[in-house]
Amino acid sequence: MSTEQRKIALYQRINGFTGPLSRGSWHWRTRWIARLLASIVWRKNNGQVQQETLAIAQEWIRLFGLPQFWQVEHMEDDTVHCAIRFPCSLEGTGDVAACHRLMEYDRALLKKIGGSLVVVRSRADPTVTGACQVAIRRLTDSRHDLIPARLLD
C-alpha cells in the first residue's frame, strides 16, 4: 500500500468516525477532536503561517497532502474558492449543521495558517453533487458577505 493510499484510508476512517459523531447528541466532541487533529497535522507537516489569501489556501491544501481532492477553483475579490471532493460520510444526509461541525478541523487548520473558511455549498445537502464549495479569506478580513451553507436550510 502506497503512502497516498494509507493517507486516504486514514482520512476515510477519521471521517467515518467523526461524521456520524457530528450528527449525534455527543456532537460537541467533534470540535475537540477536530482541533486536536488540526494541531497534530500542523506540527507533523511543518505548517507555515501565510499572509496572502492564495498562499493560505495552498498551504491548507499542502497540509492535507492529497491535492487531487482539495483544489483551488478560482480567486475573486481576495477570496479563494475551493472544491473538496474527498468522500464524506455526511454526503446526502441533509444534515448541513453536522457538516458545519465536522468542518471545524478545516477552520482550526486555516486559523493556524492565517485564514478563515466558509462552507458555501455542502454535499450534506442532497441537492449538491460533485464537490463541496468553500471560500477562504485571510483571518484579518472582516467581511461577512458569504452565506454559509448551514444557514441556507
pLDDT digits (tens, 9 = 90+) for 9-18: 988 999 999 9
User: Exposed, middle or buried: residue 90 (CB in 10 Å: 0-12, 13-18, 19+)?
Assistant: buried
Cell 464549495 appears where? 133
Residue 152 has pLDDT above 80, yes or no: no
More confident of the two residues 153 and 30: 30
| Residue 3 confidence (pLDDT) | 86
Give percent of the chain with pLDDT exceeding 70.
Answer: 99
Minimal CA–CA distance to 114: which of 41, 37, 60?
Answer: 60
pLDDT in tens, 18-54: 998 999 888 888 899 999 999 999 999 999 999 999 9
pLDDT of residue 51: 97
pLDDT, tens digit (0-9, with 9 covering 90-100), for 66-88: 999 999 999 999 999 999 999 99
- Residue 41, pLDDT score: 94
- Residue 141 has a pLDDT of 96
The pLDDT value recorded for residue 153 is: 59
Strand ranges of the sheet holding 115-121, from the earlier edge strand across to the other edge: 70-76, 79-84, 132-138, 115-121
Q: pLDDT-based confidence at 97, cuts 50/70/90?
A: very high
pLDDT on residue 28: 86
* R_g of the chain computed on alpha carbons: 15
Q: What is the spatial distance between Cα 125 and Cα 122, in angstroms, rounded to a whole number?
A: 6
Confidence band for 151, pLDDT divided at 50, 70 and 90:
confident
